[in-house]
């Protein structure tokens, strides 16, 4: 009896020690990587969602269009789903700063100024983003960049009520992004307003390795365009860095092209599914004042959005590739797993996800929810799940162990 009690106590002590050890490891990685960064603005606990002007409008932007977009985010119900950032990209400012060196909104297109626009966007319950560049000029060369004006510009942005800054890398002085970007980080910290900092140095210096100390997201690729080839290669390049994404700091394969017309419906579903499972920012890039039913159906899929916004914040990986057949998978909260079965080939194919590949213990019985059919499949699955998938299409599931 005594002996048994002793063994029990020993076991308990060991378990407690083990628990303490785990907690230490956990908090060490959290503070070392996530929280104790330069920026520490508390933003981006889940990937940012919203809209950006560039993919559809490039430089053809003005305050009326931005206001209408804010209106549309609300009237379409998109803002309720989480799409709350209204982000103005390049070309919003005059080429010449004012006599105090401040950036000024372009009079011909933003006559009311950015502060008034920000107030309007905020009055709708939304947030506003703006764009600058870690160089002398932005990529369009139609407005100044913030190089050597970081502290002044960050103050200006904060005084206007800006909530998000996309910071590009054009026309710089040839020095490394790792020396230019952290200056804006410090400037934003001193600006007196939490501003989501989106690093856009195109993946040149592997920002996934240093971005979490500097910003809330970092581009891992050059610009996307509205084609299957461009989209799928952005997803590939971004996947390499999966282990480095975490709440507060996300890999960014660039903004969405869904609704711009260059891909089929199935291809746009692949685009949205891969961005969601990769915990990429979901920044719409179409004209949301005027979407087709099909576009709306894709970007309002709440089940797919929930995968993107899952509190664990773990980016999926390609866990198996066989030619043009791929399985992407990653864990979700509640012991669930998100899976995309992807057919990149020109032909219809049968694709199988094996539990071995997606980190579900063998023999586990699993319930499968098809996120695009919005159906929980009647049959239960053990050890694998197989589906037939059209060319340039995918299936997306959430798998939930039930026994």
What is each CA distance from 140 to 80, 110, 293, in whole angstroms? Answer: 33, 17, 33
| DSSP-assigned beta bridge partners for residue 199 | 167, 218
Please, what is the minimum distance in Å from the beta carbon of residue 89 to ligand NAG? 17
Which one from 168, 252, 287, 310 is the annotated catalytic residue?
Answer: 168
Binding to ligand NAG by residue 98, rule CB under 6 A? no
* 230: contact with ligand NAG by CB under 6 A: yes
* Active-site residue, selected from the candidate residues 223, 357, 370, 383: 223
Q: How far is the CB of 202 from ligand NAG (least distance, A)?
A: 13
Contact 353, 342 (CB under 8 A): no
Out of 45, 64, 176, 289, the residue judged to bind ligand NAG by CB under 6 A:
289
Residues 233, 352, 354, 364: which binds ligand NAG (CB under 6 A)?
A: 233
Rounded CA-CA distance 66/119 in Å is 12
Nearer to ligand NAG, 119 or 236 (CB): 236
CB of 287 to ligand NAG, least distance (A): 5
Contact 352, 384 (CB under 8 A): yes
Cα separation of 239 and 254, whole Å? 13
Choose which of 2, 229, 347, 363 interacts with ligand NAG (CB under 6 A): 229
Active site residue 324: no
Count of residues in contact with ligand NAG, rule CB under 6 A = 10
Q: Of the listed pieces 15-23, 121-129, 227-235, 356-364, which binds ligand NAG according to CB under 6 A?
A: 227-235
**Residue among 171 and 233 whose Cβ is closer to ligand NAG:** 233
Closer residue to ligand NAG, CB minimum distance, 97 or 400:
97
Among 27, 290, 333, 376, the residue binding ligand NAG under the rule CB under 6 A is 290
- CB within 8 A of 8, min separation 6: which ones? none
Could you tell me the sign of the dihedral formed by the alpha carbons of 161, 167, 168, 174, in that order? positive
Q: Are the C-beta atoms of residues 301 and 272 closer than 8 Å to each other?
A: yes
Which runs of consecutive H residues, i.e. helices, occur in 240-320?
A: 265-277, 293-299, 302-308
- Give the C-alpha separation, 292 to 269, whole Å: 14
Q: Which of 99/229 has CB closer to ligand NAG?
A: 229
Query: 301 near 286, Cβ under 8 Å?
Result: no
User: Measured from the CB of residue 343, what is the shortest distance to ligand NAG in angstroms?
Assistant: 19
Beta strand ranges found along 136-210 (DSSP E): 164-168, 196-199
Q: Which of 4, 98, 99, 107 binds ligand NAG (CB under 6 A)?
A: 107
- Does the active-site annotation cover 223? yes
DSSP letter at 242? G
**Which residues are the active-site residues?**
168, 223
Residues of the shown chain interacting with ligand NAG in the complex, contacts defined by CB under 6 A = 107, 111, 225, 227, 229-230, 233, 287, 289-290
């Amino acid at each position: 009896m005594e002996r048994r009690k002793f063994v029990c106590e020993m076991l308990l002590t060991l378990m407690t020690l083990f628990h303490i050890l785990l907690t230490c490891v956990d908090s060490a990685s959290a503070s070392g990587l996530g929280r104790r960064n330069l920026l520490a603005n508390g933003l981006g606990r889940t990937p940012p969602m919203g809209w950006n002007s560039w993919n559809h409008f490039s430089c053809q932007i003005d305050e009326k269009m931005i206001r209408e977009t804010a209106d549309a985010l609300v009237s379409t119900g998109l803002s309720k789903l989480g799409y709350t950032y209204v982000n103005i990209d390049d070309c919003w400012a005059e080429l010449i700063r004012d006599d105090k060196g401040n950036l000024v909104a372009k009079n011909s297109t933003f006559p009311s100024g950015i502060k008034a626009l920000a107030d309007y966007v905020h009055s709708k319950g939304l947030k506003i983003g703006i764009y600058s560049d870690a160089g002398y000029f932005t990529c369009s060369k139609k407005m100044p960049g913030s190089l050597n004006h970081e502290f002044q510009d960050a103050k200006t942005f904060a005084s206007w009520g800006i909530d998000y800054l996309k910071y590009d890398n054009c026309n710089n002085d040839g020095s490394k992004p790792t020396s230019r970007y952290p200056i804006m980080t410090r400037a934003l910290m001193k600006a007196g307003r939490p501003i989501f900092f989106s690093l856009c140095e195109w993946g040149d210096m592997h920002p996934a390795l240093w971005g979490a100390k500097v910003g809330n997201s970092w581009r891992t690729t050059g610009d996307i365009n509205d084609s299957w080839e461009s989209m799928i290669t952005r997803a590939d390049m971004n996947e390499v860095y999966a282990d480095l994404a975490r709440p507060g700091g996300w890999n960014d394969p660039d903004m969405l092209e869904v609704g711009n017309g260059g891909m089929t419906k199935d291809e746009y579903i692949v685009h949205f599914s891969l961005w969601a499972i990769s915990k990429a920012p979901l920044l719409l890039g179409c004209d949301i004042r005027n979407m087709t039913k099909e576009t709306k159906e894709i970007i309002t899929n709440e089940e797919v959005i929930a995968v993107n916004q899952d509190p664990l914040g773990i980016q999926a990986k390609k866990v198996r590739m066989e030619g043009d057949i791929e399985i992407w998978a990653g864990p979700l909260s509640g012991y669930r797993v998100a899976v995309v079965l992807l057919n990149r080939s020109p032909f219809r194919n049968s694709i199988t996800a094996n539990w071995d590949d997606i980190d579900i213990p063998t023999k586990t019985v699993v319930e499968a929810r098809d996120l695009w059919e919005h159906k929980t499949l009647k049959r239960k699955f053990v050890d694998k799940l197989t589906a037939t998938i059209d060319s340039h299409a995918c299936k997306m599931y959430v798998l939930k162990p039930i026994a």
